[in-house]
Structures are given as structure tokens and as C-alpha cells.
Amino acid sequence: MAVIGRIEQVHATIHLARGTALTVTSAYIPPKHTFTATDLDTLLTTDGAQLIGADANAHALAWDRASPPNTKDETLTQWCIANQLLVCNTGECTRYARHHGESTPDVTLSRNCTVYTWTSLYSPDSDHHHILFDVIVGDAQMH
């Protein structure tokens, strides 16, 4: 895991059939950290297919209907629009904290690939839920 700017992140590229590839990025932005579009740009490591799973601690109506929007949501939402990233979340909560209830600080973003059957599953081992989905990159389907 590397910390670039204010964002903890790691990237992996999966090479699929016929020269097709998918870059998967995991990112964490601590709750008290702010970020800029320039900070978020460090998550974009390819012009090809990319998935970003981020515990952004940002609450926008595009992915979190359980919590009021916060100051990070506008920056992240505008950055997604500017970079043609789609929000894959379906509105399901991705976190349950005993003292705060349900929320969705985690967001799944995609570019140049198709994500479907996105779902959030309760995890007894963490306050964050497991996120499961299928993805199509070119002609390749992954589960």
C-alpha cells in the first residue's frame, strides 16, 4: 500500500485474453482528511478498463442515501464526471457501525468496463460489508 498525496492506495492489473486488461485500484481516505481533484487523479493509472473501490468517507446521494452529503462528496462527484467514471453502487449500505447505524462511505467506480450485479453483503468480521459484482471488459467476463 502506498500513500500518494492524501490517499492510501494500491493498484493491480489483471491481464485477460487477447491483450485485454483490467486495472483494479483499492483506496482509503481517512475520515478527517480532505482531498482535491489533483489528489484523486493519482488513482487513475490507465486509459483502459479500471475499477476503483474506495473507502472515501464521502457521502453523496449518488451512492449514499442513508447519510447526509458531506464536504467531500462534491469534489469526488465532480471528479467522477470529469473523468467519465461511473458509480456502480446500487444504493445499498456498505457499512454498519453500532453507534452510527448504516452508511455508505465506500464507493465502487468504473471506467471502460461494465459492472453489474453489484451487491453489498454483511460481514460479521468487519463494520464494512463485502462488495460483490461481475464485470465485463471487452469480451471477457469476470466474477
**Which cell is 125 given?**
468480521
Q: How is residue 29 written as a grid cell?
A: 481516505
Report the DSSP beta bridge partners of residue 12: 24
Q: Give pTM, 2 decimals.
A: 0.85
pLDDT tens across 11-23, in order? 999 998 888 999 9
- CA angle in degrees (0–180, nearest 5) for 135-61-110: 20
Pick 71 or 87 by higher pLDDT: 87
Structural domain that includes position 35: 2-142
What CATH number is associated with residue 80? 3.60.10.10
- The model's pLDDT over 6-56, given as tens digits with 9 standing for 90+, comes to 799 999 999 988 889 999 999 998 888 888 999 999 999 999 999 999 988
CA pair distance 143, 139, nearest whole angstrom: 14
The yes-or-no verdict on residue 120 having pLDDT over 90 is: no
Summary mean pLDDT of the chain: 84
Give the chain's domain count. 1
pLDDT of residue 18: 80
Mean pLDDT of 105-131: 85
pLDDT of residue 25: 96
Q: How many whole angstroms separate alpha carbon 128 and alpha carbon 2?
A: 21
Residues 6+ positions from 27 with CB-CB distance below 8 Å: 7, 8, 9, 43, 52, 53, 54, 55, 56
